[in-house]
């Protein structure tokens, strides 16, 4: 059995034929700094090619799945918007890396899944959320277009009208509300989250692996087509809003509010 790669911000663990990918910046709720933004793609690419696993679980360390973007990184892009072009390419790579994984990918949503964190959770194949988790894509609340995947996956899960409502307002949903509208598959009490994920993974591992993988691959043909059509313009729109005065002012206001907190 091959050794697992070691990352600075992502932890890989194998349990039999199950591979768990954990975003591992618990002290800051697993927000995406430059390292995590790169390493999560590398970790998921490894998960897709790993011959020693048949099921992948994606989760976050500590109290959160991922709270989304790092505010310091946003400030950098405001001052250096051309640097965002590499970020945009990585965002596209992340979405297609997830879609290209043939084996089942299960989201273990142990806490807030926000922004890019929500996108990753929703692009997984089946999601289990703790009853204290929250999920949302608040790009617009900081003056950004939701270009990094939210506009692709939300409408596929909950329909265009609901998706537009939540993406245009940036509303953060409770786990119960997310399950009610079909955004996530299952919500369970926090203490039962691991048992529920374990039971589902065991069920998949007991199944016919080629049949499971090729069924998923067939479904994902349409998702890849949609992502192929939307990710390029979505990231172009997001870059335009990175350059906007509205984004600058909203980020500055967020920083000021954070500084005032005791």
Q: Which two tokens stand for residue 167?
A: 């993406």
Average the pLDDT over 116-145 and give the result.
98
Confidence of residue 79 (pLDDT cuts 50, 70, 90): very high
Average the pLDDT over 35-47 and give the result.
98
Residue 142 has φ and ψ, to the nearest 5°, of -110, 20
**What pLDDT score was predicted for residue 259?**
79
pLDDT tens digit string along 95-130? 999 999 999 999 999 999 999 999 999 999 999 999
pLDDT at 82 > cutoff 90: yes
User: In the chain, which ranges are continuous DSSP H helix?
Assistant: 34-49, 71-79, 84-100, 116-123, 150-158, 160-169, 175-180, 193-205, 209-242, 245-260
pLDDT at 262 > cutoff 70: no
Residue 221 has φ and ψ, to the nearest 5°, of -55, -45
Q: Please state the length of the chain.
A: 262
pLDDT at 2 > cutoff 90: no
Residue 66's DSSP bridge partners are 113
- Rounded to 5°, the CA angle 84-141-73 comes to 30
- Residue 121 and residue 109 in contact, taking contact as beta carbons nearer than 8 Å: yes
The proportion of the chain whose per-residue pLDDT surpasses 90, expressed as a percent, equals 95
pLDDT at 1 > cutoff 90: no
pLDDT at 137 > cutoff 70: yes
Q: Provide the CATH topology of domain 10-260.
A: 2-enoyl-CoA Hydratase; Chain A, domain 1 (3.90.226)
Average pLDDT over the chain, rounded to an integer: 96
Average the pLDDT over 211-220 and give the result.
98
């Amino acid at each position: 059995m091959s050794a697992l790669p070691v990352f600075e911000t992502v932890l890989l663990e194998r349990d039999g034929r199950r591979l768990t990918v954990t975003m591992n910046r618990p002290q800051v709720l697993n927000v995406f700094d430059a390292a995590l933004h790169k390493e999560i793609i590398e970790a998921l690419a490894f998960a897709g090619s790993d011959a020693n696993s048949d099921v992948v679980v994606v989760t976050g360390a500590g109290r959160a799945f991922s709270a989304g973007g790092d505010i310091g990184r946003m400030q950098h892009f405001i001052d250096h918007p051309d640097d965002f072009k590499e970020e945009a390419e990585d965002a596209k790579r992340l979405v297609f890396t997830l879609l290209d994984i043939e084996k089942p990918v299960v989201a273990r949503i142990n806490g807030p899944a926000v922004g890019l964190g929500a996108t990753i959770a929703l692009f997984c194949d089946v999601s289990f959320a703790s009853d204290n988790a929250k999920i949302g894509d608040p790009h617009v609340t900081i003056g950004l277009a939701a270009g990094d995947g939210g506009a692709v996956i939300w409408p596929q899960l909950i329909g265009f009208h609901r998706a537009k409502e939540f993406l245009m307002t940036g509303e953060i949903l409770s786990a119960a509300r997310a399950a009610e509208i079909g955004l996530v598959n299952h919500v369970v009490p926090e203490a039962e989250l691991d048992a529920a994920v374990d039971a589902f993974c065991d069920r998949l591992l007991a199944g016919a692996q080629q049949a499971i993988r090729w069924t998923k691959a067939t479904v994902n043909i349409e998702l890849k087509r949609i992502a192929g059509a939307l990710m390029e313009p979505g990231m172009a729109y997001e870059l335009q809003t990175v350059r906007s005065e509205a984004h600058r002012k909203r980020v500055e206001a967020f920083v000021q509010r954070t500084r005032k907190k005791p």
